[in-house]
Structure 1
Amino acid sequence: MPILRQNYDLVVYRATPAGIMAAITGARLKLRTLLVEPSSRVGGMMTSGLNAADILNDSLINGVALEFFRAVRDEYALPTLPARIESRIALKVFRAMLDESEVHLATERDIASVQRQDRRITAAVLSDGHRVTGRWWVDASYEGDLMAMGGIRHRLGREGRDEYDEGLAGRQPYRAMLPWTSRREIMPRRDGALLPFVQPPSWDAVGAADMQVQSYCIRPTLTNIAANRVPITAPPNFDFSRFELFRLLGRTIRNGRVAAKQIPMLGTTWKSAYFNLAALPNGKFDMNSGPAAPLNNPVLTQGWIEASPDRRRALNEEFRRYTQALLYFMQTDASVPQGVRDFMSDFGLPADEYETSGHLPPDVYVREGRRLQGQHVFRQQDVENGGASPEDALCEAKYHLDCKPVHWRANHSGTNVVREGMFFTLDAHRYSLPAWIVLPHPEDCGNFFSVCGVSATHVAFGSIRMEPTWMELGSAAAIMAHLADRRGCPVHDVQGRDVAKLRDERFFQWPAPRFLKVKLRDKMAVYYRRMAGS
C-alpha cells in the first residue's frame, strides 16, 4: 500500500468514475489529492458490468471525462466516442489515467470516521488507523456514505407527490409483472404463504412518500465466443424453488421470440422477455434485466444503504448467487420458452473479465442511495424544462426520467403479483445542472461536495444518475474547490459559468498523457476485425 501523507487539500471518497475525475482534476489544479477506495478495484460500475454508458449526446462530455472516452476510443480504434465499453478496457484506461496523475490512491482502505470543526469537515480516520486531514472533501460513493458520516443532511427514498408538485413522485400505481400480458394473473400465494420475493400489498396512497429506492442488481457480462467462454453453472446448494414466481411468469409467455435491433454507431441489441443484451466489442454483451426473470431484485435491495460493511458483503454474495442461478435458470428451466433457452445456451461468462469474482462483476449496481438536501432541490420540472440558467450551469445532461421497480407485491385483492415504482418517459430530456446541486446546505458544511448523491428529488435523480453525468460533476467539484481557494470566497458563491470557463480553457487543451498518444490509423483494421467476430 502507498505511504500516505497526513495533510491533503482534497480528499475524494470512492474511486467511482466520478471520484476518479474529481481526483485527477484536483491534482491537475495543484491540489494535494487523496483518493480513498475500500476495495482493490477502481472504476465503480463502469469496471463492474455497466458496459453500456448511456451516452445520448457525446457533445455533452467535456474536460477530463472527455479524455477518458477519447482514450477508450483509441483503444478500440473507433472513429467516434464509444458508448459500449468492456470492463477490462475501462479499468485499463482508468488505471493509466491515475498512474499519469499525481493522485495518491489508497485502495483497500475505508473511511472509518470523520472529524468536524464548526461547519467544516477537518479530518478522517481510515480503517487502518491512519489519520488524514483535508481542506476539501468529495463524496463520490453511490451510497452517500461520507455524507452520512459527516452529518450532512440528506434524503433517502421517495418524496411525496405534493412536496414538489411532481407528477411521478411517490408510490406508483401497481402494474403487471409482464406489461404485454396484463390480463394474465399470477396468484401471489401458495398454501397460504407469499411466493418468494413477493411482498404484501401496501395500503399507502398513490403518490405517498416512503424511504424506498429503486432495485439493484449485479449486471452480468456475457460472451458467445467459445475460446473466451466460461460455462454458467448452478451456484452450490441454491434452492431453485425460490424461482416459482418466474416459472409462473414463463408459462404465460406464448412466444419466446428473441428480436435484434441494430442501433447506428452502437451495435446490435438483442431483446426478449428475459433480457436486453447490448453488444460490446470482442464478442461480449452487457446484460440488462427483462421482466420475466428480472436481475433487478427489490427484496435483496432493501436495507443495503444503511447496512454495515459486513452486511453489505453478505448481501453482495446473495446478489451474486441469485444472478448466477438466474442465468442458469434461463438456460435450463422448462418454464423458459424453448427459443430463449436455445439462444441463451450459446452464452457463458467471459474468461478475461472479473477473474477474482468468478467472472461475474464484483459490485452490486447501486442505482440510488442517499441524496443531498441542499439549499435548493432539483425537481422533475427542472429536468423537463431545461434545468439551470446559463450563469449557474455546471454541465449538461440528457436522459429519460427512469426508475426500476421498487417492489414486487401482491395486489390488494390477493389475486395477482404486481410491480410498483417504475417510470420511464418516452422523451429524453436535455437540461443543465446547477452548481448548487453538488453542495450541502451552507448551514451544514462549507467544504463538502456530493457528486453522485446530488441535491435532487427521487424523480429527477432517475435521469441524472448516469455515469458520464456523474463524471462531469466530479471534475466540476474539484474546479469549484480550486476557484473558492483562488478567490478566497465561500464555495457556495462560485458560479457554474466560472467552472465551465476554466474547464473549457484549461482542460480541453491539456497535454495528452503518454498513454493517449495512439496512432488511430494503425488500429482501425484490428477494431473492425474484432467487431466482425462479435
Structure 2
Amino acid sequence: MKKWLTLFAALALVSSACTPDKSSTSDPLVYSADIVVYGGTSAAVTAAVQAKNMGKTVIIVSPDIHLGGLSSGGLGFTDTGRKEVIGGLSREFYHRLYQHYQKPDSWKWQQQSEYGNKGQGTPAIDGNSRTMWIFEPHAAENVFEDFVAENEIEIYRDEWLNREEGLVKENGRIVSFKTLSGKTFAGKMFIDATYEGDLMASAGVSFHVGREANSVYGEEWNGVQAGVFHHGHYFKENIDPYVVPGDPSSGLLPYISSDKPGPNGSGDHKIQAYCFRMCLSNHPDNRVPFAKPEGYDPSKYELLARVYAAGWGETFQKFDPIPNRKTDTNNHGPFSTDFIGMNYDYPEASYARRREIIAEHEKYQKGLMYYLANDPNVPEEVRTEMSQWGLAKDEFTDNGNWPHQIYVREARRMIGDHVMTEHDVLNHNVVPKPVGMGSYTLDAHNSQRYVTTDGFVQNEGDIGVHAPQPYSISYGSIVPKASECENLLVPVCVSSTHIAFGSIRMEPVFMILGQSAATAAVQAIADNVPVQGVDYEKLKAQLIKDTQKLTMEDI
C-alpha cells in the first residue's frame, strides 16, 4: 500500500535489520524471536517497545514501509476523548511530540504564538501535562522511528503475510508464518497489530465483518440506522438522485446505491466509509496546488453540485488546524471525502483488490479536491478559498504529498473471549480484567447512500452517542478463544461489535492495547501458559507499574 521507500526509511531498514536465527535452522530466510509483531501501526510499535523493555526478543514484520499507521498518516488532530485515560507508551508518544514542538526550529511555516492551540476537547499543546495532541504527520513518524532506533528493535518492512499458505499452526498455536518474499518468522507469541486482521484470520480465529443486528447483543445503536442523524453528514435538503432530475429511468447519479437500506436495527455486511486524512497547507511556499487526476470526470460530483445549489455552505468545517499552517482534513457534510459504500469488500479482499480499492479512493478524493477548486458548479467563494489550499509540500514527500495510509475505520473484528458492546462503552456493564481504557463517543461514519421512499438521496450509518464517562476495555477482547489460538493477541481488530468499535478505534487506544498485549505475551512466555491463562493480577500489577490506566480509580 506504500509506494516508495524514502532514503530515511531505507537507512532505518538497513540499520534495524535483524540477523536470521540459525540456532534452529540452516535456512537463511528463517527469523525467530520470543514475540513476533505483524503490522506497522502505532500499536505495533508500542507492542514491540514494551516487549523489548521487558527483556524479550521481538521482531516487527511490517507490510508498511512507514511506521505509525494513521497516527503518522494524516490523522494529526487526535481523537483524544478524555486524555486522563491515556497512559503508558501512548502518553509517552504525545509527550515526545510536546518536546518536539517546544523547539523553535519545529515552527518553520508559522510562529508558535500564531497557532490557535485548538484540540478535541483539550488544548493542542497541554503545558500542564506536557503533551501535544495535534501534530504534523512527519513529526509523528519521527517519534515512531525514534522508538524503534532507541530500543534497537528488529524490523522488516514491506513484508506481506502469505495469507493463502504461509501460516503454520500446530496444537492450537502459531509456529511461524511466511511472507510473500519468502521469509519465515517464528516465535513463541504473535501479535496481530494490523488494521485488517490478516494474521488473525489466517490463524483460523473467528471474526465478524459489518454491522451486527441489535438483537445479537441487545444493543440500540448497532445495525442499520436509517433516519438517525447524529452529525452533519446527511442531506438536510431534498436532493434529487437521478441523472435527469425527476426521471428514475435516467438512472442514479454516481455513488448512490439502488439497494434499499434494510430495516432499522438489522445487521448487514456494510462497514463505515474510508477516506484519506489529507494534510493541506495554505502557505504559498509549502503548497502544492490540486492537480487534475488522470481520468478525472466532473460528472462524478454532480451530487455535490446539487448540494451546493440547495444552499449548503460547510466546505471548510473540518479543515482542522495542525502546526505550521497545515490541516488534518477529514470528512464533513453529505458529500465529502468519505467514499461511502465503496469499501465493503476491503476487509477480506486480496492484496491486489485492496490496492484497487485504495486507488479508487485516491482518484475519487483527488478528483473531489480538483472539482472544489475549479468547477463552475462550485460557488465562487468556495473556489476562491480552495485555491489558497493545496497538499503540504513537506509531507509524504515520497508519495506525491499524498498520505501513505488510507483510513481503515474498521475491517475485521475478532470474536474473542469477551465481545465489547455498547453496554460496556456506555457503562451499563463492568468489564472483566481491564487492560486499558477508552472514552471517545460511539462514532461511526456513514455506511451507505440510498434513495428514500420519497425519492430523494440520503446517507445512513452516521452515529455519535456520547460515552458518559471513560470505560474499561477487557483483556478478553484482545485474545482469541482458547480453542482457536493460544499464542496470539489482537490489539487493533479487537473483539467488539461494530458500534462499540466506533469508540475503541482511536489511535491512542490502539497504542494502549498494543502495550498491554505485549505485556501479556511476555508473562505468558514466562509462566509457560496460553495467553488465555495469563495471571491477571500479575498482568494488572505490571500495567499499573507502567502507568497504564485501567479503571476510573486510576485517573
Deviates more, 1:242-251 or 1:273-282: 273-282
In 2, the alpha carbon distance for the partners of 1:337 and 1:307 equals 39
- The runs of 5 or more residues in structure 2 that have no matched partner are 1-13, 22-30, 103-124, 549-555
Report the count of equivalent residues: 490
The residue type equivalent to 2:36 in the other structure is V
- The runs of 5 or more residues in structure 1 that have no matched partner are 257-271, 509-534
1:497 positional shift: 5.1
Q: Deviations over 1:251-296 (max 9, x none)?
A: 1116x3xxxxxxxxxxxxxxx2454111111111110111243111
Matching of residue 182 in structure 1 with residue 224 in structure 2 = no
User: What corresponds to 2:253 in structure 1?
Assistant: 195
Summarize the alignment of residues 225-240 of structure 1 with structure 2, pairs less than 5 Å apart.
225-240=283-298
User: What corresponds to 1:28 in structure 2?
Assistant: 53
Cα distance change, pair 376–505 in 1 and its aligned pair in 2 (3 A): closer
The residue type equivalent to 1:91 in the other structure is E
The alignment partner of 1:93 has SS state of: helix
In 1, the alpha carbon distance for the partners of 2:35 and 2:520 equals 12
User: What corresponds to 2:509 in structure 1?
Assistant: 469
The alignment partner of 1:300 has SS state of: coil
Q: Please tell me whether the aligned partners of residues 8 and 133 of structure 1 are also in contact (alpha carbons under 8 angstroms).
A: yes
Structure with more helix by fraction: 1
Cα distance change, pair 470–96 in 1 and its aligned pair in 2 (3 A): same
User: What corresponds to 2:525 in structure 1?
Assistant: 485
1:50 aligned to which of 52, 75, 87:
75
Cα distance change, pair 54–497 in 1 and its aligned pair in 2 (3 A): farther
The alignment partner of 1:355 has SS state of: coil
User: What corresponds to 2:448 in structure 1?
Assistant: 407
2:414 aligned to which of 368, 372, 376:
372
Deviates more, 1:62-71 or 1:187-196: 187-196
1:175 positional shift: 5.8
1:249 aligned to which of 285, 307, 312:
307
1:38 positional shift: 1.5
Summarize the alignment of residues 76-475 of structure 1 with structure 2, pairs less than 5 Å apart.
76-77=101-102, 78=125, 79=127, 80-112=130-162, 113-174=166-227, 182-190=236-244, 191-202=249-260, 204-253=262-311, 256=313, 272-273=314-315, 275-385=317-427, 388-389=430-431, 392-413=433-454, 415-427=455-467, 429-475=469-515
Q: Please tell me whether the aligned partners of residues 275 and 287 of structure 1 are also in contact (alpha carbons under 8 angstroms).
A: no
In 2, the alpha carbon distance for the partners of 1:38 and 1:385 equals 36
The residue type equivalent to 1:92 in the other structure is N
In 2, the alpha carbon distance for the partners of 1:212 and 1:451 equals 22
In 2, the alpha carbon distance for the partners of 1:341 and 1:427 equals 38
In 2, the alpha carbon distance for the partners of 1:203 and 1:396 equals 34
1:489 positional shift: 3.2
Q: Deviations over 1:460-514 (max 9, x none)?
A: 1110000000100000001011122223333223355533421332568xxxxxx
Q: Deviations over 1:70-127 (max 9, x none)?
A: 1111001152311111100001110011011132100011121211002111111122
Q: Please tell me whether the aligned partners of residues 186 and 249 of structure 1 are also in contact (alpha carbons under 8 angstroms).
A: no
Q: Please tell me whether the aligned partners of residues 175 and 418 of structure 1 are also in contact (alpha carbons under 8 angstroms).
A: no
The residue type equivalent to 1:419 in the other structure is N
Task: Give percent identity, aligned residues only.
Answer: 29
1:135 positional shift: 0.8
Cα distance change, pair 246–429 in 1 and its aligned pair in 2 (3 A): farther
The alignment partner of 1:135 has SS state of: strand
Q: Please tell me whether the aligned partners of residues 40 and 64 of structure 2 are also in contact (alpha carbons under 8 angstroms).
A: no
Q: Deviations over 1:340-374 (max 9, x none)?
A: 32322211111110112111112211000111111
The residue type equivalent to 2:486 in the other structure is G
Please report the TM-score for the alignment, with normalisation by the length of structure 2.
0.84
The alignment partner of 1:316 has SS state of: helix
The alignment partner of 1:357 has SS state of: coil
1:181 positional shift: 6.2
Deviates more, 1:244-253 or 1:379-388: 379-388
User: What corresponds to 1:70 in structure 2?
Assistant: 95
Q: Deviations over 1:52-82 (max 9, x none)?
A: 1111222222222222111111001152311
In 2, the alpha carbon distance for the partners of 1:359 and 1:499 equals 42
In 2, the alpha carbon distance for the partners of 1:480 and 1:495 equals 9
The residue type equivalent to 2:241 in the other structure is M
1:187 positional shift: 2.9
In 1, the alpha carbon distance for the partners of 2:420 and 2:161 equals 29
Cα distance change, pair 231–273 in 1 and its aligned pair in 2 (3 A): closer
In 2, the alpha carbon distance for the partners of 1:451 and 1:401 equals 18
1:455 positional shift: 0.7
In 1, the alpha carbon distance for the partners of 2:268 and 2:346 equals 16
The alignment partner of 2:369 has SS state of: helix
Deviates more, 1:194-203 or 1:93-102: 194-203
User: What corresponds to 2:6 in structure 1?
Assistant: none
Q: Please tell me whether the aligned partners of residues 190 and 488 of structure 2 are also in contact (alpha carbons under 8 angstroms).
A: yes
In 1, the alpha carbon distance for the partners of 2:49 and 2:212 equals 35
The alignment partner of 2:341 has SS state of: helix
User: What corresponds to 1:514 in structure 2?
Assistant: none
1:150 positional shift: 1.1
In 2, the alpha carbon distance for the partners of 1:7 and 1:393 equals 30
Cα distance change, pair 496–399 in 1 and its aligned pair in 2 (3 A): farther
User: What corresponds to 1:265 in structure 2?
Assistant: none
Q: Please tell me whether the aligned partners of residues 235 and 459 of structure 2 are also in contact (alpha carbons under 8 angstroms).
A: no
Q: Please tell me whether the aligned partners of residues 239 and 307 of structure 2 are also in contact (alpha carbons under 8 angstroms).
A: no
1:444 positional shift: 0.5
Cα distance change, pair 465–497 in 1 and its aligned pair in 2 (3 A): farther
In 1, the alpha carbon distance for the partners of 2:486 and 2:382 equals 54
1:250 positional shift: 1.4
The residue type equivalent to 1:487 in the other structure is D
